[in-house]
Amino acid sequence: MRLMTPEDFLPWVGKTVKVNTLPEAVEVRLDRVETSPRLPDGLDFRQPFSLFFEAPLSVVLLDLAYEFDCGRGGPHSIFISQCPPLRDRRVYQAVFN
């Protein structure tokens, strides 16, 4: 299985992504992709990065792995964690290292 890279998600920044949840799918927006510094001496397998998703306050997702349909070879199983919500929206983060 090929490891995902930041470049795989860049075309979807600013776009809506479906998340397979029960009883029905919900939509979140991929807000941004942030890269982190690589480890020295080739100790990592890929460029570490994080995805940040935003959703209305009504979309409540637990810290779990969900199937995200980004439309490119998906769906992709992505583990997300909740970040502190903003005044008008929720923020979720997925970390790839």
Q: What is the pLDDT of residues 40-72, one digit of tens each?
A: 777 767 789 999 999 999 999 999 999 998 766
Integer Cα distance of 8 and 94 in angstroms: 14
- pLDDT at position 1 is 61
Residue carrying structure tokens 């982190």:
36
Indicate the number of domains in the chain.
1
CB 18 within 8 Å of CB 53: no
Q: What percent of the chain has pLDDT over 70?
A: 93
Q: What percent of the chain has pLDDT over 90?
A: 69
The residues, any chain, with a CB within 8 Å of residue 61's CB and separated by 6 or more, are: 19, 21, 26, 28, 55, 80, 82, 90, 92
1 found inside a domain:
no
More confident residue, 81 or 71: 81
Where does the chain show beta strands of DSSP type E?
Answer: 16-20, 26-35, 49-56, 65-69, 76-79, 81-82, 89-96
50 found inside a domain:
yes
The answer, as to whether pTM is greater than 0.85, is yes
Give the residue numbers spanning the domain of 26. Answer: 6-96
32 found inside a domain:
yes
- pLDDT at position 44 is 66
